[in-house]
Amino acid sequence: RRWVTRPIERLARAVRSARTGKVGVIAPQGPPEIADLARDVDAMRLQMNRALYDAVRARETIEQSATVVLQLRSELGTGVEDLPDGWTVAAQLQPAEGVVAGDCYDVIQLPPSGLGLVVVDISGHGAVSGILALRCKELLRAGLRDGFDPDEAVLWAAEQLDDLGDETFLTAFVAVVDLPTGDVTYASAGHPPALLCSPSHAVELETTGPIVGPFVGPWQSASAGLDPGDTLAVYTDGLTEVRNAAGKEFGVQRLTDIVCGAAPDDAESIVKRCVDD
């Protein structure tokens, strides 16, 4: 009883007490074998306490960052201000993973009668790529507001983004639309060709320079024109490269057919039709 039964009973009481949080340490008492067992049980208690502490900290971190992540998601895709009669603009973001996309867009009015358009696609997914996308969007937006041509805005943003590293890159489509005339001045930094669609045909607005990150340019501006009834569709490869159950890509041609077929509709309807399809 003194060497086996009583030491085990003390150990059992200490374990039950520790389980309820009343005792902080399970003391090694009794003969060597039982004392060793008590040390092992106490080590397990410490490990479980550390795991519990880490879980609590992780939960607190998630709670604190959730608001930031949701705010980041809302900032990647912004609303569009009221436009003159005859013009409609719409867009939609759907992240490939989680709740934050590595893509972003912005549409801003430029004095006296211009419309600035920015679409950015960052390599990778998640919050880190989303923060970089937001940073790039704000640089391009500021460049357009300062009166830069699209190619100058891309060059200026690239100079500010000199800390991307060797494995991070981005594509961008930047344009300024003159609302009274429909003239479009744009620069495409390695971005999938935007589509200028009418009910009868479509024109691809090809890239005017390399991707941003591993290259330093040059980028150039090009021109196009929007006639009444035309649609300018800018997208990322997340749309055209999505696959169905059979492994077939959505593809540019399918997107072109949808946009051209829906050209008389407003922008909101066209975006919804593309995403639904």
Mean pLDDT score across all residues of the chain? 85
In this prediction, residue 18 carries a pLDDT of 75
CA neighbours within 13 Å on the CB side: how many for 150?
A: 26
pLDDT score, position 220 = 97
Question: If we measure between CA atoms, which residue out of 170, 48, 42, 179 comes closest to residue 118?
Answer: 170
Looking at residue 11, its pLDDT comes to 82
Looking at residue 192, its amino acid is: P
**Can you say whether residue 106 is alpha, beta or left, with left for phi > 0 and alpha for psi between -120 and 50 degrees?**
beta
Mean pLDDT of the region 142-171: 89
Determine the average pLDDT of the residues in 130-157. Answer: 92
User: Tell me, what's the pLDDT at 70?
Assistant: 52
What are 16-53's pLDDT values in tens digits? 777 776 666 777 888 888 888 888 888 888 888 888 88
C-alpha count within 13 angstroms, C-beta hemisphere, residue 34:
16
Q: Is the pLDDT of residue 201 over 90?
A: no
The reported pLDDT for the residue numbered 45 is: 81
Band of residue 89 on the pLDDT scale cut at 50, 70, 90: very high
Residues paired with residue 233 on neighbouring β-strands, in sequence order: 195
pLDDT tier for residue 98 given thresholds of 50, 70 and 90:
low
Kind and range of the H or E run holding 170: strand 170-178
Distance, in Å, from the CA atom of 82 to the CA atom of 71, rounded to the nearest integer, reads 23
Whether this prediction's pTM lies above 0.75 is answered by: no
Burial readout 100-114 (b: 16 or more C-beta within 10 A, e: otherwise): bbbbbbbbbbeeeeb
Rounded Cα distance between 38 and 51, Å, is 20
Q: Is the pLDDT of residue 239 over 60?
A: yes
Q: How many CB atoms lie within 10 A of CB 115?
A: 21
% of the chain with per-residue pLDDT over 90: 45
